[in-house]
């Protein structure tokens, strides 16, 4: 296990700004969570698939998000170990939505955090 102090982290407000500026937002939740609702610009890479997945490059760091911020901590450490400038989004999609970040379904309809 790891200590959260070792995981590069950004608060959700900063994550919203970075994502708006072109940073890659990687959602590591399970498919059913993704289908219920996700950030419109996010890329879905379930945590189990992340060790062998290609993470797209963007303008800025890779932001990693899950429902509450725990699974994304593990994913962030994995990406940092692979040489990415990656940061865990504290509070996950729950915090994202509370701050007014959009949550949509794959069809573009309003979604919810599952």
Cβ count within 10 A of residue 59: 9
Least Cα distance to 73 among 87, 61, 83, 85 occurs for 87
Instruction: Report yes or no: 95 and 12 within 8 Å, Cβ to Cβ.
Output: yes
The model's pLDDT over 31-65, given as tens digits with 9 standing for 90+, comes to 999 999 999 999 999 999 999 999 988 888 999 99
Strand, coil or helix: what is 92?
A: helix
Q: Which architecture does CATH list for 18-98?
A: 3-Layer(aba) Sandwich (3.40)
Instruction: Tell whether pTM > 0.85.
Output: yes
Write down the catalytic residue from 7, 10, 66, 93. 66
The model's pLDDT over 1-42, given as tens digits with 9 standing for 90+, comes to 344 559 999 999 999 999 999 999 999 999 999 999 999 999
Backbone angles phi, psi at 86, to 5 degrees: -115, 150
Whether 90 has a pLDDT exceeding 50, the answer reads yes
- Which residues are registered as beta bridge partners of 61? none
Would you list the domain boundaries of the chain? 18-98
Q: What integer pLDDT is reported at residue 1 of this predicted model? A: 38
**Is 66 a residue of the active site?**
yes
Q: What residues contact 39, with CB distance under 8 A and at least 6 apart? A: 19, 25, 27, 65, 93, 96, 101, 102, 103, 104
Q: What residues contact 93, with CB distance under 8 A and at least 6 apart? A: 27, 29, 37, 38, 39, 65, 66, 67, 68, 103, 113
């Amino acid at each position: 296990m790891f200590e959260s102090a070792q995981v590069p982290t950004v608060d959700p407000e900063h994550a919203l700004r970075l994502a708006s500026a072109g940073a890659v937002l990687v959602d590591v939740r399970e498919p059913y969570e993704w289908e219920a609702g996700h950030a419109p610009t996010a890329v879905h890479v379930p945590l189990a698939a992340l060790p062998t997945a290609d993470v797209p490059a963007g303008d800025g760091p890779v932001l990693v998000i899950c429902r509450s911020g725990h699974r994304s901590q593990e994913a962030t450490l994995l990406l940092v170990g692979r040489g990415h400038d990656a940061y865990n989004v504290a509070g996950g999609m729950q915090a994202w939505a509370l701050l007014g970040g959009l949550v949509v379904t794959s069809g573009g309809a309003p979604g919810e955090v599952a």
